């Protein structure tokens, strides 16, 4: 333990094996969402490093931070991005096609502001969200989405079952890799899911992370990094089985996996990804060792690029996301490189980035500085941001895109 806030794991979070092999140490980082009101505030830094399980091959953090520190007051609001809002409509249609019920009861674990439950409400479904961030739950309730301000677990699932009945659809978007109490949450999901229900899980796919060097997705909130194989290994321990998948437009490499309590014929998409993983070796330790080496090389290239920018240039960042925190801290990019970062989330504006102390501003304030270079930190939304720069701000300068793979300047 460190100050009672951090614990180093001794066994795999999924299978319990003690055969853990460390391969990537990113140094000490602040919590990515611990934004500062004052850049001179004292900060707590924690080790950030990855291991690979020799038994089930799951890639995971060596450190677990107490969840109440990270999630009780949360600055990420799902509905901030137009890409995400648009996808919520598509997601509801995909989900309802998989359900066997006309008007299913939809339960979302870590439902945030309710963006992904709203389309179900409009379609006449009964819904319930569960989220520990009390500030975000207030927003969800104001949006008309019934939401419990709780950490979902087996105990909460029993209360939901008693009051609402079994869930025909359980949605867990970008949450099952956040969990320190993974076993408890999986027990809760298995308990509350109807026998003929469908669990729909979305997560940032570790195979894409490995291939395209998404090392910025490594931060203290993300404790597990799933491939299809390692995710199915987790499911089977709870009597759950994947039967189909889709590709998510979020995170530049996300999977949507459809799961049931009944083992059935796997879709062609599932079979194809199994084969692809085997061919590409995404679960092999040697390839994750190479990933760590590539990340260190990327850091040097990015810093060289930033140091080579012509004097007198005005650079502004765009997207003070959790992922950007890892990139900035790992590469040592602070306010001497970037005077400000634009972010569309009003909960972040006026604050400073953790560790690197860069002011976060609105788009209006940031563009009023007349930048001639925009550093797109939220590179997984680069198309949306580039379109906004062109259509709303008539921006004609250069853009820096740090990932995937090589950093590059688009002039």
pLDDT interval class at 295 (50, 70, 90): very high
Is 197:260 a contact under the CB 8 Å cutoff? yes
Nearest alpha carbon to residue 116 among 104, 105, 108: 108
In whole angstroms, how far apart are CA 209 and each of 142, 163, 255, 405? 36, 40, 12, 10
Question: Is the confidence at residue 126, as pLDDT, over 60?
Answer: yes
Domain membership flag for residue 257: yes
CA atoms of 394 and 53, how far apart (whole Å): 49
CA atoms of 379 and 401, how far apart (whole Å): 6
CA atoms of 127 and 124, how far apart (whole Å): 9
Question: Is the confidence at residue 75, as pLDDT, over 70?
Answer: no
CA angle 402, 408, 411 (to 5 degrees): 125
User: Cis omega before residue 404 (within 30°)?
Assistant: yes
- The residue to which tokens 């198309």 are assigned: 383
Residue 341 C-alpha from the chain's centroid: 20
CA atoms of 255 and 182, how far apart (whole Å): 19
For residues 179-203, average pLDDT: 94
Residue 161 C-alpha from the chain's centroid: 28
Neighbours of 40 (CB within 10 A): 9
- Count up the domains in the chain and report the number: 1
Average pLDDT over the chain, rounded to whole?
92
Domain membership flag for residue 324: no
299-340, pLDDT tens digit by residue?
999 999 999 998 889 999 999 999 999 999 999 999 999 999
Residues 6+ apart with CB under 8 A from 93: 119
Q: For residue 251, what pLDDT is reported?
A: 61
Q: What is the pTM of this model?
A: 0.89
pLDDT interval class at 249 (50, 70, 90): confident
Q: Which CATH number covers residue 187?
A: 3.40.50.150
Domain membership flag for residue 134: yes
Nearest alpha carbon to residue 67 among 133, 1, 8, 113: 133
CA atoms of 6 and 69, how far apart (whole Å): 10
CA atoms of 29 and 7, how far apart (whole Å): 15
Domain membership flag for residue 166: yes
For residues 108-118, average pLDDT: 93
Residues 6+ apart with CB under 8 A from 300: none
Domain membership flag for residue 62: no
CA atoms of 395 and 202, how far apart (whole Å): 34
- Between residues 340 and 180, the one the model is more confident about: 340
Q: For residue 78, what pLDDT is reported?
A: 63
367-394, pLDDT tens digit by residue?
999 999 999 999 999 999 999 999 999 9
CA atoms of 180 and 223, how far apart (whole Å): 7
- The residue to which tokens 């614990």 are assigned: 7
Question: Is the confidence at residue 116, as pLDDT, over 90?
Answer: yes
For residues 178-189, average pLDDT: 89
Q: For residue 2, what pLDDT is reported?
A: 42
Domain range for 140:
78-286
pLDDT interval class at 134 (50, 70, 90): confident
Question: Is the confidence at residue 3, as pLDDT, over 50?
Answer: no
Q: For residue 347, what pLDDT is reported?
A: 86
């Amino acid at each position: 333990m460190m100050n009672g806030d951090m614990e180093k794991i001794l066994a795999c979070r999924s299978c319990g094996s003690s055969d853990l092999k460390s391969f990537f140490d990113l140094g000490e980082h602040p919590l990515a969402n611990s934004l500062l009101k004052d850049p001179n505030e004292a900060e707590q830094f924690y080790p950030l490093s990855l291991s690979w399980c020799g038994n089930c091959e799951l890639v995971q953090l060596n450190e677990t931070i107490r969840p109440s520190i990270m999630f009780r007051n949360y600055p990420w609001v799902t509905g901030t991005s137009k890409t995400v809002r648009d996808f919520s409509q598509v997601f509801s249609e995909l989900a309802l096609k998989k359900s066997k019920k006309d008007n299913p009861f939809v339960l979302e674990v870590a439902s945030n502001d309710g963006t992904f439950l709203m389309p179900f409400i409009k379609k006449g479904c009964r819904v319930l969200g569960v989220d520990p961030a009390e500030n975000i739950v207030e927003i969800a309730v104001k949006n008309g989405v019934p939401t419990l301000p709780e950490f979902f677990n087996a105990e909460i699932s029993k209360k939901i079952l008693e009051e609402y009945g079994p869930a025909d659809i359980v949605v867990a978007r970008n949450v099952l890799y956040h969990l320190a109490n993974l076993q408890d949450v999986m027990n809760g999901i298995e308990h509350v899911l109807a026998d003929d229900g469908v669990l729909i899980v979305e997560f940032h796919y570790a195979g894409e992370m490995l291939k395209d060097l998404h090392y910025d997705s490594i931060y203290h909130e993300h404790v597990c990094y799933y491939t299809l194989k390692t995710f199915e290994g987790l499911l089977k321990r709870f009597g759950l089985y994947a039967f189909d998948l889709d590709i998510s437009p979020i995170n530049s490499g996300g999977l949507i996996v459809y799961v049931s309590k009944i083992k059935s014929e796997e879709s062609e998409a599932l079979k194809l990804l199994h084969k692809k993983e085997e061919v590409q070796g995404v679960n092999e330790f040697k390839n994750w060792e190479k990933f760590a080496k590539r990340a260190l090389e990327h850091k040097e290239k990015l810093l060289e690029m930033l140091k080579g920018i012509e004097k007198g240039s005005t650079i502004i960042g765009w997207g003070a996301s959790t992922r950007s925190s890892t990139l900035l801290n790992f590469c040592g990019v602070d306010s001497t490189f970037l005077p400000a970062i634009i972010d569309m989330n009003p909960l972040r504006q006026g604050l400073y980035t953790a560790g690197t102390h860069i002011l976060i501003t609105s788009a209006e304030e940031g563009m009023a500085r007349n930048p001639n270079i925009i550093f797109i930190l939220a590179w997984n939304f680069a198309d949306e941001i580039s379109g906004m720069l062109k259509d709303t701000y008539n921006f004609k300068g250069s853009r820096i895109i740090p990932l995937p793979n090589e950093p590059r300047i688009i002039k």
